[in-house]
Structure formats: C-alpha cells, structure tokens
Structure 1
Amino acid sequence: MKREGGVGFVIRFTLVEKIEHITGITDRLMKLRVSQACGRYLSILSVYAPTIESTEESTMSFYETIRNTIAAVPIEEKLIVFGDFNACVGQDHNIWGALGRYGIAKVNSNGLLLLQLCSEFNLAVSNTFFHQKRKFKVTWTPPPRSKHGHMIDFILTRKSDIRDMCNV
C-alpha cells in the first residue's frame, strides 16, 4: 500500500505520564488522549487531509473517518483537532459560525467539507479568531514564488472551548 499521509505527535517528556493512550487510526489521522485534573480528559487529533487533487473517494473516506473519530469523543471532553487540512475556509464568518473575523482568501471545495464538519460538531476554526499579520497566517504558498499564500493548516476546537485559546 502506498503511504501518502503521515501524522504524529511530539510530546514533552514531562507530559508522557499523563498520556492515557495514543491511537494511529489511519496514516492521515492519529488520536492522543491526555488526562487532566479532576478526572477530565483532552483528546487531540492530528490530521493530514487529502489534497485538492486527491480522488473524491479518498477525500470522502478521510472525512467519514474523522467524523466517526470526533463522534466517539465524549462531549464533556476537551477536543483539539489540528493539522494540514489542505483546505481554504475563506472569511465568510457571517455565513459560517465556525469562522472568526480573521480568515483569508476564498473557500475551496476542501474548505466546504471542513466547514460542514465544523458545523456538524459545533467546532470553531480557531486560527480565524485571532488578529495576526498575514505572514503569520499563511501556511502554504504555491510555487513559483506566488505572493498569494493560503491558510491550510488549522486548529479546531469546540466552540464552547474557544475561550481557552490564548493565541493561534
């Protein structure tokens, strides 16, 4: 089988003892569960979504897997989903409740899939909630030396937990 994805975690040594479990779900999706104070937990998903050029089948399979994974995380548990979504979510915060006022560019087809996922699970694209200079928002610039960079790497969290974010 050809491996096109690849995700992982870098974990500070002092946090290792708090890890409940790490699960490799696919080569594009991995889950880490960390114990917190008072018997609470934090689930973190690391993702590498298919690109815009990928087949519709692989893209839909990825989103089905991430949907099932998010649905399995108890609602009272903190959730962070981060990684390369290969998606542009745009800046239509009035239309999409998942977006803050600081998105960039226009939404693309992968962005629509991501925004639908966020709507379904009441998630926020936290990158778009913080005012940053454009150079700190852009995570990919298409060759050759284009000046039109895109924000394709995101950190998602439950809308109710966006207040826990200090800066993204």
Structure 2
Amino acid sequence: MRWTKQGRKNIKNCDIYWSGDTNKRSFGAGFEVGERLCRQVRVFTPAVERLTAIRIKATFFNISFICAHAPTEEKDDEVKDTFCEQLERTYERCPRHDIKVVLGDFNARVGQEGVFGPTVGKFSLHNGTSPNGLRLIDFVGDRNMVISSTRFIHKKIHKATWLSPDRNTRNQIDNVVIDGRHASSVLDVRTIRGPNIDSDHYLVATKIRTRLSAAKTKEQKEQGKLDVEKFQSQQTATRLSHL
C-alpha cells in the first residue's frame, strides 16, 4: 500500500489498516479486514512503512498477522539489515501463545535445496535460493517456523506471484510463514491469477484451519487406564449388585 502515515479507514464493508511513509508514497504495508472479521480485531500495531501487525481473535487461539514488504535484492546490505531487525522486533512484540503468521512481499526466492527441506519444503518454483531467500530462511529457522508457500504441489502458474514488466519472467517472491507447531493448520497456499488488482503481483490465497490441542491435563494423566479385568471378577459383580 502506498498510503501516507498510519491509520484505519472503513471503506464499504471492509476496514483498512495501514502503515506508510510520513510524507511520500514510496512504501507501505497493510491489511484489509472483511465485514465478518471486523469485530474480531483486537490490536493493530503499525510498525514502519514496510511492516505492520494485526491481532485477530479466533475460536481457539488468537492469531497475530505480520505484513512485510522487504527490500529488493538490489538494495544495500545496510537497508536489508535494518529491515530484518525491524521484522524481528515486530515478531517479538506478538504475544507468546498466539499463532504467528508472517506474510507479504519478501522479494525472496527460496529454492529446492535438500538442506532447507524441513523449513521450505520441496515444491518451490525455483531451483536455487537467492540472497534475500537466505535471509528469510535464517529468520524462519531461528524461530522454528516454516515457509508454507512452497510446501504444496501446484502447477507453476499457481506458484508464481510476480510477473516482470517484460512479461517473460515469473518469480515466487511473496510468501506465507507460520509457526512450526501450527504448520499443519495451513491446508493450502496458491496464487490466484483471475482478479485484476492493478499490480505486477498476483493475489496469494492461504487456507488456514485452527485446531484444538490434544494435550492432556494433569488430572487426566494421573487417572491412567481402567483395569477392565476387575469388572469380570465375582467379587466386583457382587459389590456392584448392592448399589
């Protein structure tokens, strides 16, 4: 989003939350929240022009979404380092027990190298990882997260998220990242090519289903298994018959 300053605005049935430059329309990040979820927004945290976060109340867990717009590969390392530091601070501010989802334009290509398999999967559009991709993998790996965008089998046209101006090059540089313990909650990630959004990027759709934890309480653990053999004894049968 190339809106200036920071804020919230209602447009028809949606709420727009954004964080942009103070005066110029160079960069920006934001969220469009549909009518069904407007009342579920708990906190909106505008960080900088390239980062913003929002917290949504879900059924079983609250979800913290971070929208990112990373510098391109051509930017100086100093600019990239600054962005990485800001992203880390934004992530650390999210409540500990929330599901954390980081998404947006990372300007990063992640490849199919086997060494990155647990973090990236094996269905990326690209064979090799770019320098920005290595930065993204470092951020993800240090926090036990996974890149969901490259973990599902799709046709190449449903993986590419950006089309070059000459319309000859397609890259997968927009990604969805989630905490490793909730990775199974992501059911699918794919590119939607139909809508005209007046951009050289395609829409990326993610299907997420939250689940209840199967962890047992302390009381349940202490109960242990039932001794069914006792129900077969004559002594037990006699005692129960007098109840």
Q: Fold match, TM over 0.5?
A: yes
Deviation string 1:92-151 (CA, Å, 9 cap, x unpaired) is: 2433521111012221111110000001111111011110100010112334232x4210
Deviation string 1:31-56 (CA, Å, 9 cap, x unpaired) is: 00012235x31100011101111122
Aligned counterpart in structure 1 of residue 145 of structure 2, from 111, 123, 134: 123
Q: Which amino acid aligns with 1:33?
A: R
Q: Mapping of 1:62-101 within 5 angstroms?
A: 62-101=83-122
Task: State whether residues 97 and 119 of structure 1, in contact with CA within 8 Å, keep that contact through their aligned partners in structure 2.
Answer: no
Deviation at 1:59, TM superposition (A): 0.9
Q: Which amino acid aligns with 1:18?
A: Q
Q: Which amino acid aligns with 2:35?
A: F
Deviation at 1:160, TM superposition (A): 1.4
Q: Please, which runs of 5 or more residues in structure 2 have no aligned partner?
A: 1-22, 190-243
Aligned counterpart in structure 2 of residue 28 of structure 1, from 50, 55, 64: 50
- For residue 226 of structure 2, what is the aligned residue in structure 1? none
SS in 2 for 1:94: helix
Deviation at 1:21, TM superposition (A): 1.1
Select the structure that is richer in strand.
2
- RMSD over aligned CA atoms reads 1.6
Q: Which range is displaced more, 101-110 or 128-137? A: 101-110
- For residue 159 of structure 2, what is the aligned residue in structure 1? 137
The share of aligned pairs that are identical, in percent, is 28
Cα distance in 2 between the residues matched to 1:34 and 1:93:
35
Instruction: Give the structure-2-normalised TM-score.
Output: 0.64
* Shift in CA distance, 74/23, structure 1 to aligned 2, threshold 3 Å: closer
Deviation at 1:2, TM superposition (A): 4.8
Q: Does 1:4 align with 2:26?
A: yes
Deviation at 1:81, TM superposition (A): 0.7
Q: Which range is displaced more, 71-80 or 15-24? A: 71-80
* Shift in CA distance, 61/70, structure 1 to aligned 2, threshold 3 Å: same
Cα distance in 1 between the residues matched to 2:64 and 2:121:
23
Task: State whether residues 124 and 162 of structure 1, in contact with CA within 8 Å, keep that contact through their aligned partners in structure 2.
Answer: yes
Equivalent residues, number? 166
Cα distance in 2 between the residues matched to 1:96 and 1:70:
23
Cα distance in 1 between the residues matched to 2:86 and 2:38:
26
Q: Which amino acid aligns with 1:61?
A: T
Q: Which amino acid aligns with 1:17?
A: R
Deviation string 1:52-81 (CA, Å, 9 cap, x unpaired) is: 111221111110111112123234210111
Instruction: Give the structure-1-normalised TM-score.
Output: 0.91
Deviation at 1:163, TM superposition (A): 0.6
Aligned counterpart in structure 2 of residue 60 of structure 1, from 68, 78, 81: 81
Cα distance in 1 between the residues matched to 2:117 and 2:89:
22
- For residue 123 of structure 2, what is the aligned residue in structure 1? 102
Q: Does 1:155 align with 2:156?
A: no
